Structure 1
Amino acid sequence: MEQKASQLLPDPATMKGALLTWFWCFLNGFFSVRIAALRGNMKAEYQVTVYTQDMAYAGTKDDVYITLVGKRGSSQHGKLGRNKFFFHRGDESTFTVTCSADLGELLLIHLEKRGLVIKDSWLPAKVEVRSSNGKLYVFPIYHWLKGNKKHFFREGAAVLDFQETNHQMIKTRKNELKNQKNLYRWAVYKEGIPLCMKADTLMSLPLDDRYPFTRDLEFGFTAVAALAKLGLEAWSNCIDKWNSMNDIEKLYKSHVTSTSDYVMKHWREDAFFGYQFLNGVNPMMIRRCKTLPSKFPVPSNMIFGKSWLTLRTEMMKGNIYLSDYNILDGVETNTINGRKQFLAAPLVLFHKNEYNEMMPIAIQLKQKPGRDNPIFFPTDSEYDWLLAKTYVKSADFNLHELNFHLLRTHLLAEVFAVSLQRNLPRVHPVFKLLIRHTRYTLQINFLARNLLISKIGILTLYTASGGKGILTLLDRSVSSMTYRSLCIPDDIADRGLEDVPNFYYRDDGLKLWNIMHRFVHDILSFYYKYDWMVQNDAELQNWIQEIFENGFLRRRETGIPQKFITVAELVKFVTMVMFTCSAQHTAVNDGQYDFYGWMPNGPSTMKKPPPTQKGKADEASFLSTLPDVETTVLIMATVWLSNMQTSDRRYLHQFVEEHFTEDFPRYKVTVFQRELKKLSKEIYKRNRDLELPYTYLDPKLVENSVAI
C-alpha cells in the first residue's frame, strides 16, 4: 500500500516545473494587464503642420480648429495655437495635438475656421500629420474655407469607390458628392449647345472656381481699358470705311508682336496664306483631297507650277489638299451699324509644291457652282485673287472662333469640369489627375457668355456670324463634332496629314499627346489593375455618362463613350480631356492677336457680298469690303485681351498643387515634367532655324487649363 501511495505522488522535478510554469503565466498575465492599462492611460502626440497657399488673400486671422480621425477614435476638436495665431499666405505652421490614446491609422481630418470676420476666407494647401511612431499622413486640401463650418478632408492616398471598407469613409464619400452636386448644377444656356454651370452672377460661382483678387484686378482693368492700352480710344466710335492700307497700318502699330509684324509683311503671299492652314491659329480645316468634290469643278487637267503639273496627276501623288467651309453655307449674317454683312462658305484647293509649300491653287467662294460663282486662280488679277483669299480668311475667322475655339475647348472644358466636380470625390485618382486642368474655366466661360456671345457681346455685334448666326453655327458644329476629331492622332490620320512637311502643330501636338498618354496610362494603371475595376467604378461611369448627356447631347454618332469597359478606353479619354483643356486650347487661342491683329489677314466680317464675276476688284473696292474702323478696333482689342498673359498663369509642367501623395504617382509626375522639359528643348532648337518660329505648343508656354 505504501508503495502504491508513493507512486501516486508527483515527481519533485515535475512539481517544480509546474510551479515555475504557473508562476511565469501569472507574471505574464499580470504585466500584460498592467501594460494594457498603462497604454490606455498613455497620451499620444501628433505633430500637425498646416500649409497655407502662397496666393493673395489666402491667409486668415480667424481661429482654426482641427479634429484628427483614426480607425481607433478621434481627437478632441481643438484650436491650433494657444494664443491668437495668424495663418499667413505661403506659411507653414506646426502644432502638437495631444490625444488620450493612439488613434490608429489616420483616415481624415475636420477643419473649421471660426472668427468674428465671417467673410475672411482661408486657402490651406495641405495638412501633414506625423504620428508618435513616425508615420507621416498627408491631407491635400487646396480648397477655400469660408464661414464657420466643418470641412472634411481625407488622407491623400487615392481610393476607388468599391475599395472602401470603412463605414465612416463610405458615408463621408457619399456626403461629399451630395454636397458637390448641390453646389455644381447644370444649366441650359441655349438649346443645341453643351450645358454649362448654373450661375446667375460671378459671385454665385464656387469660390474655388473664381479668379483671385489679383487676376480679377488685372483682367477687369484690361477689359475696361483695353482700347486705352492699345491707344485705340479715338477710333472706337468711327464707322467709316478705310481710305488706304496705310490707315490700317497706323492703327495696327498700336501693338505689334514679332509674329503679327511678320503677318503684316507677308499676308498677301500665297505661300504664307497656305502656311497658316498648317501652323496658324486654326490648323483644323485642311485635309488631303483624293477626289475633287463635284460642287468644286476645277478642271482636272488644269496645269500649274513651273513643271507643267496637272491637277489629276498631283492628286494621284497625294499632293492636293482641300479646305471646305460648307458648314457656313446659309448661315444668317449680321447687321453692323445698320449695314448687312456677308460671310462666304468657300472651298479652297492647295498644292504641296516641290519646295514643300502649301500653295493655294483655286478658290470658290460659295458652295453651289454656277456662272455667278467663279473659281478664282492665282493667275487672276492681283485684287481678284487677294479678295478671294480675304473672303476665305474671314470665313476661317468666324468658324475658328465659334467652333474650334469656343465650342471645342471652352465649352467642352466646362462640361468636363462640372461633371468632374459632381461625380468624382477628391480622393478619386481621375479627379487628382484632372482637377488642375479645370482651373478658372468656369469663370472665364461665364465672362465669355456675357461679354462675347450675349446680345451685347463683341462676337454677337461685330462678326459676320453674330446674332442668330452664332446659334446656327454652334448647333452645326456640335453636330459635326466627333470623338476622333478631339484626339489629335485620330484627327491627323482622318485628315490624311501624317506626312505633310513643316506641319509644326501636328509634330508638337502628337509629341505632347504621347507624353500625356504615357503619364495618364502609368498613373491610372497603378489604380486600375484590371478592366473589371473600371467597369465596377460607379463614380467613374456616372462621370462619363454626364459628359455624354450634357456635353455631347446624347449624340451616339459622335463616338463619345457612354461608359468605360477597359483601362485603355479610360486612359485615352482622360488624355483627350487633358489635351483639350491645355494644349489644344493654347494652340487655337494664343495666336489670335498674332494672326488677327493685322485685320486684313482675318476680317471678322465682310461688308460686300462675294464677287459674282472677275475683273472688277481694285484697291478701293477691296478696302470698301473690309470691316469698318469701329469693328476693326473692337475685334483687335478683344483678341488682344484673349492673349493677355496674367501674372498667375500656370503652365503644363507646373504641379503647384500636390494631389497625389503616394510615391509611385509622385515619381511619375517628375517623369512627366522631365519629358515636357526635353520636348521644350527640342522645339526651341527647331525654332532657331525657322523664319517664323512655331511656339504655341512649347510645353513651357502651354497653360494647363482654359483660364483665359
Structure 2
Amino acid sequence: MAVYKITVATGSDLAAGTFNNIFIILVGEHGESEKHQIARHWSHFLPGSVTEFDINVEKDLGELLLVQLNMECYLNFFLDDWFCQYVNVTSPSGQLYQFPFYQWISKPGSVEVPEGKGVIITGSTSPILLRQRKAELEMNRETYKWKVYAEGVPRCIDIEDDGVFKLPPNDQYSLLKEMSFGYNLLSIGFGTMLKGFMFNKDSWHNLEDIKLLSTLRQSQKSGLVSEIWKEDSFFGSQYLNGVNPSLIKKCFKIPENFSVVDEMVASSLGPSTNLETELQNGHIFLADYKILENIPTNTINGKQQYIAAPMCLLWKNPQDQLVPIAIQLSQTPGEHTPVFLPSDSEFDWLLAKIWVRNSEFQVHQIDSHLLRTHLLAEVFSTATTRQLPMGHPLYKLIIPHFRYTLEINVLGRKQLLAPSGHFEKAWVFGDGGIPLLLKRAMEGVTFHNLCLPDNIVSRGMESIPNYLYRDDGMKIWLAVESFVSNIVNYYYYSDVMVKEDPELQAWVAEIFKEGFLQNCSSEVPSSLESIASLIKYLTMVIFTCSAQHAAVNSGQFDMYSWMPNGPTTMKSPPPTAKGATMEAILKTLPDVNTTALGLIFMWTVSNDPLDTRHLGNYPNKYFTEKTPQQAIKEFQDKLTEISKHIKERNKTMDLPYAYLDPSVIENSVSL
C-alpha cells in the first residue's frame, strides 16, 4: 500500500469557495488511483483555504503525470463554481509533484490538470499527456469560437455583446474587480448628473464654464493641462509623451498636397535657417491624419458632427522643443484650404490646433488604443486558449497577460461600440464610421510597427530629445525580451524544436489568420522558424498587452479631461477661411452633455479598479522549475530598477511622464 500526501488550495477571491463534493484521481505512468473524495469539512473549500490529506493507493503509480478533479453536487445544493489554485502531491518516495491550475471549475465532471513542468510535444511525449492535451484543446475550441466583428477587422470571441456573464468563468472579472469598476463608473456619473451637465444640450458659453465640469474630478496632471493647453510647446510635446506617442514621424520632404512653403514658416524658424535646411537636418516632423478622410460622421443632439483630416508640421527648435509651425485641415489643397500658422490671429491658430487635437483623439482611440491593444490582445488571448494547452511552457509565460481582456472587450462592444453605445452619443464617429475607420487602420498594421524598436526606427524617431515614451518603452522592451529569452532558451534547445512544435505553429498560424486576416503585406509571421523569431514574437505580444496599452490608456484623463485639448467631436465644419472668433470656437466644441459623457469615459478608463496585477507580478505560479522561477525574479528586479529611475527623473519635471513606470503598468488589457 502506497501513501500519497495531497495539498489542495482554493483561490482567495470572495466567490472562490464551494459547497460541492470534490473528488481526486492520481494518474501516473504505471496506472491511476481510485477515485477519492476529499473529506468534507466546513473550512476545506473556503476562499483562501489549503486542505491537506492522505490517500492510500494499492501500488506506486510511478512518475505522476496528471491529477483528475471531479466536482459533484452536495445533497440538494445548487452546483456552484470552485476556483482551484493548485494541487501538490508528495509520493511515497518523498518526491513533490506540483499541479498548478488557477482556474474555475464550473461544471460537473472531470478536469485533468497536468504536472507543472512545461512540456513541448516531441516523439517521446507520454501518450497520456498527448491524450490530455488533445482533449483540453478540443474542449477549449468548442467553448472559445471566433466571429466577425466587422469586415477587415480582427475577429473576436463569439459571445453576444450583451453577454459578459456568458463568458467562461476564467475570463470574467473577479467579484472585487466588478464592484470596483462599477463604483468608478457610478461615482463620476452621479456627480455630473447632480450638476445638471448630463441634461444640458447647449453649447458652452465660455471656456471657464468648462472648468466647472473638469474640476469635478482631477488628477495630478489634468489641472495643469487646463492651464497650459494653448502653449505650442505643450501641443508638440503630446506627440512624444502624450497618449498617442506613435503617430508622428520625421519628415524629409513636404507632401505635395501640403501647401506650406518656406515664406509661411520663416517667422517661426527665425532668420538663421529655413524650411529646406531644417528638413535636411532632420528637425521637421509630420503628423498626418489622412486615415480620417471621408469617414461618415455621427449626429448628436440632433446636430450633424464633423471631422477633419489635417496635416500638422512640427519643428524641433534650438531649445529642443517640438512645436507646430503649420496646419492644413484638409488633404486637398486649394483656395478654401488655408494653411494656419503661429503668426495668424490667436483664435485662428487656436481653432486650427483644436481641430488637430480632435483628429488626434479619433486616431488615438480607434487605431492606437482599440485596434492595436484591445482587439489584438483579444486575438492573442483567444488563440492561446484554443491552441496552447496549459502544460505548454509558452502558455505559462503569456497567460498572465490576458487576464480579464475578454470581459473588458465584450463590455466595450456593448457599452461603447454598439449602435446605442457611448460612442454613438458622444463621439464624432458612431456605429457607421467606426468599423470603416478600424478597417482602414488595420491596413496600416504591420509586425514591425508593433515591435517598438522597429517602430521607432521606421518613423525616424531614434534621436529626437525628450521622447520619454521611447526611452522608457525601450527599457521595458529589452527587459521583456531578456525575460522571454531566458524562458524560451530553457525549453527550446534548437531552431528545429521551434519549427517542429505543432502547438506553437498552430498558435501562430491562427493569430495570423484570425487576427491579421492572412494579410501577407503586414509581414506578420504565419509560422516561426527559429528561437530568435519566437523571442521577438512573444516580446511583441507581452509588450502590446502590457506596456503599450498603458502608454495609450493610462493618461487619457490627464490629457482629455480638459475637453478643448481632446474634443470627442466637433459640431461645426472645419473653417475654409481665416477669421475665427472665440464664439466660433465655442460653437464648434462639443455640447455640454457630450462633454460630460466624454469626461465619464476618461475617468473610468484611466482609473484602475481593484484587483490589478502590475507588470512582472505573477502570483499564479504556473512555472514549477527553478530556472523559469529565477528568470521571473530577474525580470522583476530589472523592472524595479526601471521604475526607480523613472520616479527619480520625474521628480525633476514640471510635467512628469509616468505611464511606463512598471509599478503602474498592468500585466494585461483589463480596462
Q: Distance in 2 between matches of 1:701 and 1:217?
A: 21
585-594 or 640-649, which deviates more: 640-649
Instruction: Please point out which of 646, 659, 682 is paired with 2:622.
Output: 659
Q: Distance in 2 between matches of 1:620 and 1:300?
A: 32
| 1:278 CA drift (Å) | 0.4
Aligned ranges 1:2-401 → 2 under 5 Å? 43-81=1-39, 86-116=44-74, 117-200=77-160, 201-230=163-192, 234-300=196-262, 302-303=265-266, 304-401=268-365
Please tell me whether residue 504 in structure 1 is matched to residue 468 in structure 2: yes
Q: Distance in 2 between matches of 1:237 and 1:661?
A: 56
Residue 502 of structure 1: SS of its match in structure 2?
coil
Tell me, yes or no, if the aligned pair for 1:61 and 1:85 is still in contact at 8 Å. Answer: no
Q: Distance in 2 between matches of 1:207 and 1:653?
A: 24
| 1:144 CA drift (Å) | 0.3
Q: Distance in 1 between matches of 2:278 and 2:242?
A: 25
Q: Distance in 2 between matches of 1:664 and 1:217?
A: 38
Residue 309 of structure 1: SS of its match in structure 2?
coil
Q: Distance in 2 between matches of 1:601 and 1:98?
A: 69
Instruction: Name the CA shift for 1:456/1:668 in 2 (closer, same or farther; >3 Å).
Output: same
Q: Distance in 2 between matches of 1:653 and 1:459?
A: 33
Tell me, yes or no, if the aligned pair for 2:316 and 2:322 is still in contact at 8 Å. Answer: yes
Cα deviation, 1:105-163, whole Å, max 9, x if unaligned, reads 11110111223334321111111111122211100110101232111000000111225
Residue 257 of structure 1: SS of its match in structure 2?
coil
Instruction: Please point out which of 423, 432, 447 is paired with 1:468.
Output: 432
Which structure carries more relative contact order (alpha carbon 8 Å, separation 6+)? 2
Instruction: Please point out which of 584, 596, 602 is paired with 1:621.
Output: 584
Q: Distance in 2 between matches of 1:308 and 1:617?
A: 32
Tell me, yes or no, if the aligned pair for 1:70 and 1:104 is still in contact at 8 Å. Answer: yes
Q: Distance in 2 between matches of 1:46 and 1:604?
A: 62
Tell me, yes or no, if the aligned pair for 2:44 and 2:50 is still in contact at 8 Å. Answer: no
Tell me, yes or no, if the aligned pair for 1:181 and 1:422 is still in contact at 8 Å. Answer: yes
Aligned residue type for 1:54 = S
Residue 349 of structure 1: SS of its match in structure 2?
strand
Aligned residue type for 1:64 = I
Q: Distance in 2 between matches of 1:561 and 1:330?
A: 32
> RMSD across aligned C-alpha pairs, in angstroms?
1.4
Q: Distance in 2 between matches of 1:161 and 1:520?
A: 20
Partner of 2:568: 604
Q: Distance in 1 between matches of 2:340 and 2:569?
A: 20
Aligned residue type for 2:39 = G
Query: Which 4+ runs in 1 deviate beyond 6 A?
Result: none
| 1:211 CA drift (Å) | 0.9
Instruction: Name the CA shift for 1:363/1:83 in 2 (closer, same or farther; >3 Å).
Output: closer
Q: Distance in 2 between matches of 1:154 and 1:680?
A: 36
Partner of 2:483: 519
Aligned ranges 1:484-633 → 2 under 5 Å? 484-614=448-578, 616-633=579-596
Cα deviation, 1:494-532, whole Å, max 9, x if unaligned, reads 000001111110101111000000111110111111111
Tell me, yes or no, if the aligned pair for 1:114 and 1:148 is still in contact at 8 Å. Answer: yes
Q: Distance in 2 between matches of 1:83 and 1:670?
A: 37
Q: Distance in 1 between matches of 2:193 and 2:594?
A: 15
Cα deviation, 1:464-520, whole Å, max 9, x if unaligned, reads 122321111111001111111111100000000001111110101111000000111
Cα deviation, 1:365-390, whole Å, max 9, x if unaligned, reads 00011110000110100000000000
Aligned residue type for 1:537 = D
Residue 631 of structure 2: SS of its match in structure 1?
helix
TM-score for both structures, normalised by structure 1: 0.92
Q: Distance in 2 between matches of 1:521 and 1:528?
A: 10
Residue 236 of structure 1: SS of its match in structure 2?
helix
Tell me, yes or no, if the aligned pair for 2:44 and 2:51 is still in contact at 8 Å. Answer: no
Q: Distance in 1 between matches of 2:210 and 2:475?
A: 39
Instruction: Please point out which of 421, 437, 456 is paired with 2:401.
Output: 437
| 1:306 CA drift (Å) | 4.3
| 1:86 CA drift (Å) | 2.7
Residue 189 of structure 2: SS of its match in structure 1?
helix
Instruction: Name the CA shift for 1:232/1:559 in 2 (closer, same or farther; >3 Å).
Output: farther
Q: Distance in 1 between matches of 2:299 and 2:25?
A: 62
Q: Distance in 1 between matches of 2:179 and 2:642?
A: 34
TM-score for both structures, normalised by structure 2: 0.97
Residue 454 of structure 2: SS of its match in structure 1?
helix
| 1:188 CA drift (Å) | 1.0
Q: Distance in 2 between matches of 1:151 and 1:368?
A: 62
Q: Which runs of 5+ in 2 are unaligned?
A: none
490-499 or 649-658, which deviates more: 649-658
| 1:229 CA drift (Å) | 4.1
Tell me, yes or no, if the aligned pair for 2:5 and 2:53 is still in contact at 8 Å. Answer: yes
Tell me, yes or no, if the aligned pair for 1:68 and 1:110 is still in contact at 8 Å. Answer: yes
Instruction: Name the CA shift for 1:231/1:260 in 2 (closer, same or farther; >3 Å).
Output: farther
Partner of 2:633: 670
Percent of residue pairs bearing the same amino acid type: 42
Tell me, yes or no, if the aligned pair for 1:583 and 1:703 is still in contact at 8 Å. Answer: yes
Instruction: Please point out which of 634, 656, 663 is paired with 1:693.
Output: 656
Cα deviation, 1:592-619, whole Å, max 9, x if unaligned, reads 11111000000011111111111x2111
Instruction: Name the CA shift for 1:554/1:226 in 2 (closer, same or farther; >3 Å).
Output: same
Q: Distance in 2 between matches of 1:341 and 1:97?
A: 70
Please tell me whether residue 650 in structure 1 is matched to residue 613 in structure 2: yes
Partner of 2:386: 422
Partner of 1:704: 667
Q: Which runs of 5+ in 1 are unaligned?
A: 1-42
Q: Distance in 2 between matches of 1:307 and 1:681?
A: 43
| 1:569 CA drift (Å) | 0.9
| 1:218 CA drift (Å) | 2.4
Tell me, yes or no, if the aligned pair for 1:275 and 1:357 is still in contact at 8 Å. Answer: yes
Cα deviation, 1:641-670, whole Å, max 9, x if unaligned, reads 111221101111211111111111111010
Residue 199 of structure 1: SS of its match in structure 2?
coil
